[in-house]
Amino acid sequence: LFWLLLCFSPCASCPQHCQCHDHLGAMAVLCSSGELEEIPKDIPKDTVFLKLDANKITAIPSNAFKHLSHLQELDLSRNAIEKIDMAAFKGVADGLRLLDLSNNHIQSIPKEALIKLNAKIRLSNNPWHCECTLQEALWEVKLDPESVNEITCQTSVEEEYIGKPLLQVLDTGINFCNIHQKTTDIAMFITMFGWFTMVITYVVYYVRHNQEDARKHLEYLKSLPSTQVPKETI
């Protein structure tokens, strides 16, 4: 009866489709293959190991794990995650040691979501779009060395890098942020040129229109009958 009562509290608070048990003195919550479509909101606060792999989760909203201050390992692999909010991992930055986001549908991730994480991060087997935002995000993280070569450019701002491992591309010296800056500069130049052309066109139109009005006014004055003042006889 004593052991039943001791176990009752954590067991009763365990999320649906999950299993909660003590693992070497730490709370482990196992929700693998539970057909979950979103992250449970009733995960025990003392959770240290959390497995949410092989579900149908599509997004990680802000503050999804904020109450899990003891969390050390978080497995979100083999889901359908496409969107990760900037504050998705707020509250777990200090203690988190491992974050697994491999085998999802992630194309891009905001650097703000990862900037404070000290965890080893797995990002392999996602349909990454290789451009400045992704490069900036990867500058902020500690990637898992065992899976780093499986981060591949499925799409890219430069077609020649499609299908190649991202780190292999970066080793060539390519800087997607420079490409982005050049593209932005060109777009700004085109915009400014368009505005300049519009201004010049308006000025030319204005001058020509005024010249036409002045010409018509002069012709009108010429068409008026002339009046001569008679000379006074002395």
Instruction: Examine residue 144 and state whether it is found in any structural domain, yes or no.
Output: yes
Q: Please tell me whether residues 59 and 162 are part of one structural domain.
A: yes
Is 198 found in the same domain as 114? no
Q: What is the CATH number of the domain that holds 158?
A: 3.80.10.10
| Dihedral sign (CA 108, 102, 120, 88) | positive
Judge if 187 and 107 occupy the same domain.
Answer: no
State the pLDDT at residue 180: 45
In this structure, are 69 and 18 located in the same domain?
yes
Prediction pTM value: 0.72
Q: Are strands 26-30 and 19-23 parallel, antiparallel or unpaired?
A: antiparallel
Q: How many residues does the chain have?
A: 234
> Do residue 170 and residue 191 come from a single domain?
no
DSSP 10-67: HHHTSPTT-EEEEETTEEEEE-TTS--SS--S---TTEEEEE--SS---EE-TTTTTT
Report helix, strand or coil for 85: coil
Residue 128's DSSP bridge partners are 153
Q: Give per-residue pLDDT as tens, 178-225.
A: 854 444 444 454 556 566 667 777 777 777 767 776 666 666 666 666
Q: What residues make up the domain containing 10? A: 2-174
Say yes or no: 43 and 101 in one domain.
Answer: yes
Domains identified in the chain, total number: 2
Say if residues 91 and 66 touch (Cβ distance below 8 Å): yes
Q: Environment class of residue 212 by beta-carbon count within 10 Å: exposed (0-12), middle (13-18) or buried (19+)?
A: exposed
- More reliable by pLDDT, 21 or 2: 21
- The answer on 182 and 139 residing in a single domain is no
pLDDT digits (tens, 9 = 90+) for 77-122: 999 999 999 999 999 978 899 999 999 999 999 999 998 899 999 9
Q: What count of other Cβ atoms lies within 10 Å of the Cβ of residue 4? A: 8
Q: What is the DSSP letter of 159?
A: G
